[in-house]
Amino acid sequence: MMKLAKTSVIFCTAIALALPYAVDACPVSTVDVVHTDFGAHETLRVWGGGHDGWDVYGGVYMLDKSGGSGEGDIWPNGLIGAFCTELTEMAPDTITTYDVIMLQDGPVPTDFLGGPMGAAKGGYIRELWG
């Protein structure tokens, strides 16, 4: 797998995104993004989270950040690489506002997994994304 430059992951109402800055060090309120393209990605078959052999995209989503609120303005607007962990939501095709939360607290909603991923699983994602 390809390891990208320093990124961090944000979790939104129903999608998780990785931004090129450290969320742990910079708590953020919201960001406004729209899906524009894919980076390195592949179709994957998933068994888990209530899905049995479901085909999903896995890999890097390219999102165009156009704004934010609160400390969401600390990230510059423009293209960002994102990693999606929410299996039940498609990438946004219109500008959508997402809340930013700590990696271990996502994905939101957590009901299809029985709760948030927690620190150990969040650590695996951090290992891959820097």
Of all helices (H) and strands (E), which one includes residue 80?
A: strand 78-83
**How confident is the model at residue 87, as a pLDDT?**
67
Encode pLDDT of 50-103 as tens digits.
778 888 877 888 999 999 998 788 889 999 888 776 766 778 899 999 888 888
Q: How confident is the model at residue 20 (pLDDT cuts 50, 70, 90)?
A: very low
Distance of CA 127 to the CA centre of its chain: 15
| Amino acid of residue 110 | T
As a whole number of Å, the CA-based R_g of the chain is 14
**How confident is the model at residue 97, as a pLDDT?**
92
What does the domain layout of the chain look like in residue ranges?
Answer: 8-129
**How confident is the model at residue 27, as a pLDDT?**
53
**How confident is the model at residue 76, as a pLDDT?**
92
3 state DSSP class of 39: strand
Encode pLDDT of 92-130 as tens digits.
899 999 888 888 888 877 776 788 889 998 899 888 876
3 state DSSP class of 74: helix
